[in-house]
Amino acid sequence: MLLTVVVGAIIRLYQPVPLTLGAWVFGGLGMFAGLREARRHPHMFRRRALLWLRRAFTGWGPHGIVFALMLLTAFVYGLRAWLGVRLPASDWDGLMYHLVAPSAWVQAGEVGRATEVIWADAYPMGVESLAGWPMVFLGFPDYGILYLLPGYLLAGVALVALARRLGLKRAPALLVGTAFLLTPSVFAQANTYYVDVQSAAFGLAALAVLASMRGAAELSGRPTETVTRSMLVLGFALGAATATKSSNLAVMGVAGCAAIVAVAYLSGRHRLGLWPYFRAAPALIVPIAVIGGYWYLRTWLHYDNPFYPVTMLGFEGLGSVEDVVMNTNVPLELRAMSLPEQLWASWSQPFTDLVTTQVYDVRLGGLGIAWMTFVLPVSVLGILLWIKNSWRKAGVGSLLLLGIAATYGPSLAPWWGRYVLLGYGCLLIFAVYFTARLAEGRSFARVSSAGLRFVLAASVALAVFTGHRHVPITTGDPADKEMFDRTGGLPLERALALTVAPDRAKRVWPWTEFGALDSLPNGTVIAVARGNLQSLLQPLRGTWMQRDLVVVEPPPDVPTLIRELREVHADHVLLDRSEVWDAVRDKLADDPSFTFVTDLGGVAPRYNPPPNGKLFRLEADPDTRR
C-alpha cells in the first residue's frame, strides 16, 4: 500500500520497473534492520525458530477438535484460492468498482482518477492497490486474489495474538482463529475482491499491537525503543485500516486514544519522561497520513469532501450513509422492519434456510449457526467473567470491548455479517475465554467446557458444509441460472469442473452477457459518460483487459459527443438508461457517424431495473479517411 501511494500516486510511475525498484528499496531497509537486530542478539532468531518448530508439532493429542478445524481451514482457503485464480471475477462489487480502480491506474500508468464510477474514484482504495500489483506486471487481474488472501491470515493471527494476551493457551487461541476464518461472512469472500475481511484484519492487528506493548517493553530491556517500534507498526496497521474503509476511522480513534494511554502508562512505569512521546508520535502519525490519509486527501481535492459521496462531519455529499449506501443494499424483506426485527431475521436465517448457500455478499445469516448457538450467549458470560477477574488482564479485555464498541456502535447494519467482523472476532475471544476458564475448574466444569467447544466446532463445520454445497458461481446456461436463483450457486463439483474447462473464461456469469464484445479488436476504446448507470464495468475491459475505458462528459448534442469521443480517441460509446444520455439517445441510430453494434448491460441487482445498454461504433472521420 505504501509503495502504491509513493511510487504510483506521488511519483506517478505505476509501472513494473519503478514499483520493482521501490520494493527492492523497501525490502532492503527491512533486511538492514533485521541484520542490525541480529548483531545485537546473536542466535536469537535461530533459537526462537527452533523452539517454535519443536512446539508446533507436539502436544496436539488432547486437542483433536482444534487440529481438525485447522485442517478444515486449510482446505477451505485452498479451495477458495483455486476458484479465485481459475475463474474470472464474478462478485458484484468487484466488477463494479474494486477492480475498476486498479484497472484504470494500469491503463493510465499512474494512480490517478477512476471516473468510470464514483465509488472507484472516491472510496479509499488501499486493498484494491494490493489486487493491482499483479495487474501492473501481468496486464490482467487473475492473480489479484492471491494478494488479498494474506489479509485472512492476518485476521486469524491477530485474533490468536489477542486471545493469548488475554491469557488463553495455544489450543483455545487457535480455536478462536480457526472459528473466525470458518465463519460464512469470512470464507464466502475469500475468492472475491470484497474488502471486509481485510478491513477487520487491520483493525484487529492494531488491537494486537497495543495488547502486546506492555509485555514487549518489559522483556526488551529497552522500553523507549520498544514503544517507538510498536507505534510504527500500529501506524502501519491503522493506515492500512483507514485505507480500506472509512468506517475504520472509528477504530483509528479508539486505537489512538488507547495508544496515548499505553504510552503514558509505560512512560510512568519506566520513568521515561516525555521522550517516548516525541519518538512515538511521528512513528504513529506518518504511516497513517501516507498510507491512509492520501486517499481522503485525494477525494477532498477532487470533490471538496474527503468522505464523498457521503455527507459526513460537516462535509456535503450526495446524502447520508443511509441514503447513499444502505437504502439500496437493505434486502427487501428487511426494509419494513425495526432494528430488533432485522437482527432476528438475519440471525435466525441459518436455522430456517438450509437450501440456499452463503453467497459472497452475505446479508442474512452471515455469522452462521455458531453466532446464536455459541458466540453471542457465551461471549456475554465471558465478558462477565472477565469483569470479575479484570485485574488480571484489564488492558487486553478493555481493548476487546473497545473493538466491539467501535464495530457495533457506529454500524448502521449490525444484522449484516460482513459489516461487523471486527467486533464479532472480539466477542469470539470472550466466548472461548469462558470455556478456557471452565476447563480450569472441577470435573463438571471441564466437561461443560469440552461440550461448548464441541458446539462451536460442530457449528462452524456445518457452516462450511452448507456454504459449499453450492458456491456463488453460475454460467450463462439457463439451467444453471435457474439453479442459482433457487440455491444461490452451482454445486461444488460442477464449479470445480468449470475451473478446468478450456472455455471457462467465457462461461462464467456475468462475463457470458458480454460475449458480444469478444468480436471487437484488441485495443478497442469504449467511452462511458460521467454519471453512467452501467453496473458491471470491469467486463467492458475484457477478461485480459484487452479493451480500454474512457469517460466523457454528458453530451448536449451529437456533434459534441463526436468531438469528445475523438478527443479521447474512443472508437465505441456505450449508452445506458441514465438520464445523462437523454439528449442524444434517440439520435445515434440515425446518425451516419455511428453504427449500432449490440445491446449490452448485464443484469442489474433485483432492486433496480437493468441498465439497457446499447453499444455504438464511431465511424472513422471522413477527413481522416481521405
> How many angstroms separate the CA atoms of 430 and 513, rounded?
47
Cell of 83: 476458484
Give me the chain's average pLDDT, please. 91
The angle subtended at Cα 67 by Cα 61 and Cα 69, nearest 5°, is 150
pLDDT per residue as tens digits for the range 173-183: 999 999 999 99
The mean-pLDDT minimum among 72-81, 418-427, 488-497 falls in 488-497
* CB neighbour class for 624 (10 Å; exposed up to 12, middle 13-18, buried from 19): exposed
Closest CA to 512 of 468, 480, 556: 480
Phi, psi dihedrals of residue 575, rounded to the nearest 5°: -100, 140
215 and 225 Cβ atoms separated by less than 8 Å: no
Number of H helices, E strands in the chain: 31, 7
Backbone conformation region of residue 451, classed left if phi is above 0, alpha if psi is from -120 to 50, else beta: alpha
Write the single-letter amino acid at 77: Y
> How many angstroms separate the CA atoms of 588 and 591, rounded?
5
**Alpha-carbon distances, residue 289 vs 293, 296, 406 (angstroms):** 4, 10, 21
pLDDT per residue as tens digits for the range 89-123: 999 899 999 999 999 999 999 999 999 999 999 99
pLDDT per residue as tens digits for the range 255-280: 999 999 998 888 888 777 777 788 88
Average pLDDT over residues 580-597: 92
The structure's pTM equals 0.94
What's the alpha-carbon Rg for the chain, to the nearest Å? Answer: 26
DSSP per residue, 534-571: -S--HHHH-TT--SEEEEEPPPSSHHHHHHHHHHTT-S
> How many angstroms separate the CA atoms of 267 and 259, rounded?
12
The mean-pLDDT minimum among 262-276, 279-293, 522-536, 586-600 falls in 262-276
> How many angstroms separate the CA atoms of 557 and 232, rounded?
55
DSSP 123: S
Higher pLDDT, 343 or 333: 343
Residue 226 clears pLDDT 50, i.e. is over it: yes
Q: Which residues of 428-456 are buried (b: 16+ CB within 10 A; e: fewer)?
A: bbbbbbbbbbbbeeeeeeeeebeebbebb
Residue 603 clears pLDDT 70, i.e. is over it: no
Residue 82 clears pLDDT 50, i.e. is over it: yes
Average pLDDT over residues 448-456: 93
The pLDDT score that the predictor gives to residue 52 is 82
> How many angstroms separate the CA atoms of 417 and 364, rounded?
7
Phi, psi dihedrals of residue 508, rounded to the nearest 5°: -85, 130
